[in-house]
């Protein structure tokens, strides 16, 4: 019975995922956009890290002190850019994509315009939805987070990060668009580099911000579809022509 229950649950999850994907394709197929169904993940980085646990234990006299923050690192190494986890990994910028795909199983979707379909928006904060977007010869990281910026008032924050340097990020413009029930909402900005912290981008509010009631206006049965388009910056194109 236990085996049957587990298998039946897996089948139901698969059916639910295929149904969500079918609905999204039916809605956006006319525009020729690729659809990526993204399931939520409760962020593990808010849990105490091993380093924090070690420091707490040290104060109690049970473990040696943790010197993680005192270590001298190679300036060419960057920390893990996945906002879901407190991952201790460090590496060069050109291998960040491989780390995200192999270690954190982050999906990657290719195309100039795609649709990011986040499921189960009703789940309590903090919750994250994340994918990689390959476009114009670069990889971008789209992060959607449900977080309580004020106690008892969860909000949704969506931002696009370039897996590259800040100088490279300035060459692009990204657009996030919500469109449902004869309502349309757009956010357009320059992506930030993954060398910057996603948390700081969200705390600064330099991203698409939705309160719960606004997110519900654009959601469909607990799923939120966000259209994504990335273009090269017109400002830099003009400078290049001059």
* pLDDT at residue 206, rounded to an integer: 93
Least confident among 18-32, 152-166, 171-185, 219-233:
18-32
SS3 86: coil
Under the banding of pLDDT at 50, 70 and 90, the label for residue 6 is low
Q: What is the CATH number of domain 32-40+73-232?
A: 2.60.210.10
Under the banding of pLDDT at 50, 70 and 90, the label for residue 74 is low
Kindly report the average pLDDT of the chain as a whole number.
Answer: 77
Can you tell me the distance from the alpha carbon of 234 to that of 242, in angstroms, rounded to the nearest whole number?
12
Which residues, at least 6 apart from 110, have a Cβ–Cβ distance to it below 8 Å?
A: 34, 133, 134, 135
Residue in the structure block whose two tokens are 């995200």: 100
Residue 186 CB-half CA count within 13 A: 6
* pLDDT at residue 71, rounded to an integer: 42
User: If you average pLDDT over residues 121-137, what whole number do you get?
Assistant: 92
Can you tell me the distance from the alpha carbon of 199 to that of 101, in angstroms, rounded to the nearest whole number?
21
User: If you average pLDDT over residues 209-228, what whole number do you get?
Assistant: 94
- Res 86 pLDDT > 80: no
Can you tell me the distance from the alpha carbon of 177 to that of 146, in angstroms, rounded to the nearest whole number?
18
More confident residue, 222 or 64: 222
Can you tell me the distance from the alpha carbon of 21 to that of 49, in angstroms, rounded to the nearest whole number?
35
Distances (CA, A) of 161 to 39, 147, 202: 19, 18, 12
Under the banding of pLDDT at 50, 70 and 90, the label for residue 28 is very low
The pTM score is 0.72
Which residues, at least 6 apart from 21, have a Cβ–Cβ distance to it below 8 Å?
A: 35, 37, 117
């Amino acid at each position: 019975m236990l085996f049957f229950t587990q298998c039946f649950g897996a089948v139901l999850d698969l059916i639910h995922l295929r149904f969500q994907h079918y609905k999204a394709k039916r809605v956006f197929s006319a525009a020729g956009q690729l659809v990526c169904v993204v399931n939520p993940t409760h962020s593990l980085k808010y849990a105490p890290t091993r380093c924090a646990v070690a420091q707490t234990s040290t104060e109690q006299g049970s473990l040696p002190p943790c010197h993680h923050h005192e270590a001298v690192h190679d300036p060419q190494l960057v920390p893990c850019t996945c906002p879901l986890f407190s991952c201790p990994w460090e590496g060069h910028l050109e291998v960040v994509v491989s780390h995200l795909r192999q270690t954190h199983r982050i999906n990657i979707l290719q195309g100039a315009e795609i649709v990011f379909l986040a499921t189960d928006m009703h789940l309590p904060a903090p919750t994250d939805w994340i994918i990689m977007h390959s476009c114009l010869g670069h990889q971008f990281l789209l992060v959607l987070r449900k977080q309580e910026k004020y106690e008892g008032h969860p909000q949704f924050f969506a931002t696009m990060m370039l897996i590259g340097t800040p100088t490279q990020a300035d060459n692009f413009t990204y657009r996030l668009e919500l469109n449902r029930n004869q309502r349309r909402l757009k956010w357009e900005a320059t992506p930030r580099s993954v060398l910057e912290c996603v948390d700081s981008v969200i705390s600064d509010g330099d991203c698409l911000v939705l309160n719960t009631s606004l997110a519900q206006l654009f959601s469909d049965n607990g799923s939120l579809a966000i259209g994504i388009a990335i273009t090269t910056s017109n400002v830099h194109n003009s400078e290049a022509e001059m």
